[in-house]
Amino acid sequence: MVRISQIRNIASFKKTTDQILSVRQLNCQDYAQMASLLLSNHKITSQERQTVNRIFDSVKEGTIKVIE
Protein backbone atom coordinates (compact mmCIF):
# COMPACT_ATOMS: atom_id res chain seq x y z
CA MET A 1 0.00 0.00 0.00
CA VAL A 2 1.26 3.49 -0.81
CA ARG A 3 2.01 5.53 2.27
CA ILE A 4 0.30 8.87 2.79
CA SER A 5 3.73 10.28 3.72
CA GLN A 6 4.86 9.56 0.16
CA ILE A 7 2.14 11.66 -1.39
CA ARG A 8 3.81 14.44 -3.33
CA ASN A 9 1.11 15.56 -5.74
CA ILE A 10 -2.59 15.37 -6.49
CA ALA A 11 -2.24 12.34 -8.74
CA SER A 12 -0.62 10.21 -6.05
CA PHE A 13 -3.01 11.56 -3.39
CA LYS A 14 -5.94 10.51 -5.57
CA LYS A 15 -4.38 7.12 -6.30
CA THR A 16 -3.80 6.47 -2.60
CA THR A 17 -7.25 7.56 -1.46
CA ASP A 18 -8.91 5.68 -4.34
CA GLN A 19 -7.03 2.56 -3.27
CA ILE A 20 -8.16 2.98 0.35
CA LEU A 21 -11.77 3.43 -0.78
CA SER A 22 -11.48 0.45 -3.14
CA VAL A 23 -9.98 -2.10 -0.73
CA ARG A 24 -11.96 -0.67 2.20
CA GLN A 25 -9.01 -0.72 4.59
CA LEU A 26 -6.06 1.37 5.72
CA ASN A 27 -3.34 0.83 8.27
CA CYS A 28 -2.88 2.72 11.53
CA GLN A 29 0.04 4.74 10.19
CA ASP A 30 -1.94 5.92 7.15
CA TYR A 31 -4.86 6.83 9.41
CA ALA A 32 -2.60 8.90 11.68
CA GLN A 33 -0.92 10.60 8.72
CA MET A 34 -4.27 11.56 7.19
CA ALA A 35 -5.38 13.00 10.53
CA SER A 36 -2.13 14.94 10.71
CA LEU A 37 -2.66 16.19 7.16
CA LEU A 38 -6.06 17.60 8.13
CA LEU A 39 -4.79 19.17 11.34
CA SER A 40 -1.59 20.64 9.93
CA ASN A 41 -1.16 23.89 8.11
CA HIS A 42 -0.47 21.92 4.93
CA LYS A 43 -2.57 23.38 2.15
CA ILE A 44 -5.00 20.88 0.72
CA THR A 45 -7.90 21.54 -1.59
CA SER A 46 -11.49 21.31 -0.45
CA GLN A 47 -11.87 18.21 -2.64
CA GLU A 48 -8.88 16.54 -0.95
CA ARG A 49 -10.30 17.47 2.46
CA GLN A 50 -13.69 15.99 1.49
CA THR A 51 -12.02 12.77 0.36
CA VAL A 52 -10.13 12.39 3.64
CA ASN A 53 -13.31 13.18 5.58
CA ARG A 54 -15.17 10.57 3.52
CA ILE A 55 -12.55 8.00 4.50
CA PHE A 56 -12.81 8.97 8.19
CA ASP A 57 -16.62 8.80 8.03
CA SER A 58 -16.36 5.33 6.49
CA VAL A 59 -14.03 4.25 9.30
CA LYS A 60 -16.57 5.49 11.87
CA GLU A 61 -19.37 3.65 10.05
CA GLY A 62 -17.28 0.48 9.92
CA THR A 63 -17.24 0.26 6.15
CA ILE A 64 -13.47 0.85 6.05
CA LYS A 65 -11.34 -1.09 8.52
CA VAL A 66 -8.16 0.15 10.13
CA ILE A 67 -5.64 -2.68 10.12
CA GLU A 68 -2.26 -3.11 11.76
| C-alpha distances out from residue 60 to 8, 10, 11, 39, Å | 27, 25, 26, 18
pTM (two decimals): 0.75
What pLDDT does residue 10 have?
A: 59
Count Cα neighbours of 42 within 13 Å in the Cβ-side half-sphere. 15
What pLDDT does residue 58 have?
A: 95
Q: Tell me the pLDDT tens digit for each residue of 19-56.
A: 899 999 998 888 887 888 788 766 778 888 899 899 99
For the stretch 6-12, contacts whose Cβ atoms lie closer than 8 Å and that sit 24 or more positions apart, written own/partner, are 10/45, 10/48
| Contact predicate 54/20, CB 8 Å | no
